[in-house]
Amino acid sequence: MPVNLSAPDPADLHPVAGLRIGTAMAGIRKANRRDLVVFLPDEGAAVAGVFTKNRFCAAPVQLCREHLSGVTAGRGIRALVVNTGNANAGTGADGLARARRTCDALAGHLGVAAQQVLPFSTGVIMETLPVERIEAGLPAALADAAAPAPADGARWAEAAQGIMTTDTLPKAASTQVQIGGRTVTVTGISKGAGMIKPDMATMLGYMATDAVITQSALEHLVTEAADASFNRITIDGDTSTNDSFVLMATQAAGHAPITSLDSEDGRILRQAVIQMAQRLAQAIVRDGEGATKFITVRVEGGRTKAECRQAAYAIAHSPLVKTAFFASDPNLGRILAAVGYAGIDDLDQGLIDLFLDDVHVVREGGRHPDYREEHGQRVMKQSEITVRVDLHRGPTHATVWTCDLSHDYVSINADYRS
């Protein structure tokens, strides 16, 4: 059961001018479900992405990097194609050939070069991609994209369903801001519920805006947004082979071009994109496999952001910490142990404070004299919890979002392929 998360209402999602979206049921792994999605940005759109640092990255990730590296003013990205049900990872040269075949097929329908298509896959690793089913499903997805677009964000909502794997709910977010006297839209979707510990991306995330922004500024923006959102979540500490986060800017809003994120317009767009990325990232954690609690881990008082992040992830990754949260058991020494093995070599344990929401649990490295276990248990029973650790060694901080680890997580992953 997702933690305080509901399916998106299409009425709350704004279409993005200059982008068409289509979905289809291609039967890639299961029948009678949306499992193929195409995004078709108009000519002249800027597209940028960040991807997994897993060295065993999937074939589509390899092709996306290759195709994005070849983007020029005269040959931009014209299509994204996403399949669920099969990750096309751990498939060697054959997997790469099948990913290329997917790009060739969509490019042929659109009359563009195969290098102008970005392919994405998610699902089971080390199984052959049924590319012939994708090829057969593309006409239906393109026909859906060509049909008159609804006034609301129904296409986005359908796309959010079309990229799901073990997700229990689709995930989408949308907002509008004013830039240069024009209304600018930012809308996105994400998927993921397990194998979540991104490194410069998430499982799959797609965001579009009609803002007018240069390619170089967009590339900076997608990296900043990922770092502030998808790089701050973990469910199980496993970095996927297929992590991808793509930001598209269709240039349709009509305001003066944004060339720097430090300009007034750039700051407005940056804030909107990051806020939407954080909503999408947190939705992944709220829908974590078997999750019953949404947990914010904030480590402050560090000398560097890196060491704060180290400590935060040590807490968020710990199976002992996560199972204690599932059981509502205030066995909070587990949190101190995680901070201690986080890798901060000169950490002074005598300075550390630990808070559980409003409860001061540890002061100067030892149990606070006023702390009682029933105070900790009161907080642990909540569906949303904040863990705050103060290292008292510097001015920086970092925040990570995670969930608990339940019996259902084991069951879901034990039965994933059945």
pLDDT score recorded for residue 151? 83
- Given a cut of 90, whether residue 416 has pLDDT beyond it is no
Kindly report the average pLDDT of the chain as a whole number: 95
pLDDT score recorded for residue 175? 98
Which one of 286, 321, 343 terminates a domain?
286
Question: 32 and 54: one domain?
Answer: yes
Question: 258 and 342: one domain?
Answer: no
pLDDT band at residue 235 under the 50/70/90 scheme: confident
- Given a cut of 80, whether residue 365 has pLDDT beyond it is yes
Question: 224 and 260: one domain?
Answer: yes
What's the whole-number mean pLDDT along residues 352-370? 97
Cα separation values, 60 from 30, 140, 230, 322, Å: 21, 22, 20, 33
Strands lying side by side in the sheet with 79-86 = 19-24, 36-41, 79-86, 117-124
Question: 51 and 85: one domain?
Answer: yes
Q: Are 6 and 169 in contact (CB under 8 A)?
A: yes
Q: Which amino acid belongs to residue 340?
A: G
Is 132 within the bounds of a domain?
yes
Question: 280 and 361: one domain?
Answer: no
Instruction: Give me the number of domains the chain comprises.
Output: 2
Closest by CA position to 83, among listed 224, 231, 244, 230: 244
Is 316 within the bounds of a domain?
yes
pLDDT score recorded for residue 209? 98
Q: Which amino acid belongs to residue 153?
A: G
Q: Note the pLDDT tens digit of each residue in 45-62.
A: 999 999 998 888 999 999
**202 labelled catalytic:** yes
Q: Which amino acid belongs to residue 376?
A: G
- Cα-atom radius of gyration of the chain, to the nearest Å? 22
- CATH no. for residue 321? 3.10.20.340
- Given a cut of 80, whether residue 263 has pLDDT beyond it is yes
Q: Which of 84, 91, 202, 250 is catalytic?
A: 202
Q: Note the pLDDT tens digit of each residue in 286-342.
A: 999 899 999 999 999 999 999 999 999 999 999 999 999 999 999 999 999 999 999
- Given a cut of 80, whether residue 226 has pLDDT beyond it is yes
Question: 225 and 357: one domain?
Answer: no
Closest by CA position to 287, among listed 408, 122, 403: 403
Is 140 within the bounds of a domain?
yes
CA separation for the pair 66, 74 (Å, rounded): 17
pLDDT score recorded for residue 236? 85
Question: 63 and 92: one domain?
Answer: yes
Question: 225 and 342: one domain?
Answer: no
DSSP β-ladder status, 46-51 and 79-86? unpaired
Structural domain including 130 reads 10-286
